[in-house]
Amino acid sequence: MKTHEFTIIASGLNPEAEDFEDRFFDAGCDDATLSFQKGVIIIEFAREAVSFSKAVTSAYRAVLGAGATVERVEPDYLVSLSEIAERSGKTRQAISLYTNGNRGEGFPAPVARVTSNHPLWDWEEVAGWLVERNALPKEELVRARVVKEANLHLDATDAPADNFVRRLEAAEAA
Amino acid sequence: MPRSRHPDKEIEQAVAYAEEEGWTLVPIKGHAWGRLYCAHHDRDGCKVSVWSTPKSTGNHARALVRAVDRCPHRERKEDNDEDS
């Protein structure tokens, strides 16, 4: 089985409580590293599972089982130019040629903070564009879809937890 | 008094690295062996928990180092996240 690396951002538990770590350990998070930074609980998983969506959904359930609230899954689908460079193994210069339209026909437009100096792209769109040009493994696009679906679900506050698993599995199969 | 060493070599190295970066180890009881606090733990500082027996000691050791490296309170050698 493959080991899948991703991070869950959580809240709702006091990291100074005596049982903070034990709650996560007992809920099956012995394959995660717990930290508390910038005011949020950061749970970095290296989880063995048959698929990426299975790894994320089982981790999601474990974090809820520990009594925490899941806020977000990372690496996030909203990415800066630097992050696109990092994730695709290219230089920032190469990526800015794409984003300026000089060398990348049809490169996706930014989707957030468009009027700022630091716009954000949707990694699923960017990954799809790179995969089409054989500049990124297909697997990365699948991961991008699953993480985006997870965060869209988490953004919709009234979305029931059961849907989470179905949505992620559907995103992976797409 | 010197602290006790973590039984796993890789995790011990990661803890020693954190200490070099100004973090402090506080031993605790339970499944966690200790908690590492960054130099700003009096205010809104960083904390990372060190397991006694994680599923994979290598993965855990690497994650500890990553947590130390992303501490926003450490002195930046180079902050290069500006997109232009």
Give yes or no for B78 touching A (CB within 8 A): no
Residues A28-40 have pLDDT tens digits of 999 999 999 999 9
Give yes or no for B20 touching A (CB within 8 A): no
> For residue A18, what pLDDT is reported?
94
Do B6 and B12 form a contact (C-beta atoms < 8 A)?
yes
Check B67 against A22: CB less than 8 A apart. no
Cα distance between residue B6 and residue B64, in whole Å: 13
Give the ipTM of the model, two decimals please. 0.86
- Give the pLDDT band of residue A41 (cuts 50, 70, 90): very high
- Give the pLDDT band of residue B76 (cuts 50, 70, 90): low
Cα distance between residue A66 and residue B79, in whole Å: 35
Cα distance between residue A32 and residue B27, in whole Å: 19
Check A21 against B30: CB less than 8 A apart. yes
pTM score, whole prediction: 0.88
Q: Which residues of chain B make contact with A75, given a CB cutoff of 8 A?
A: none
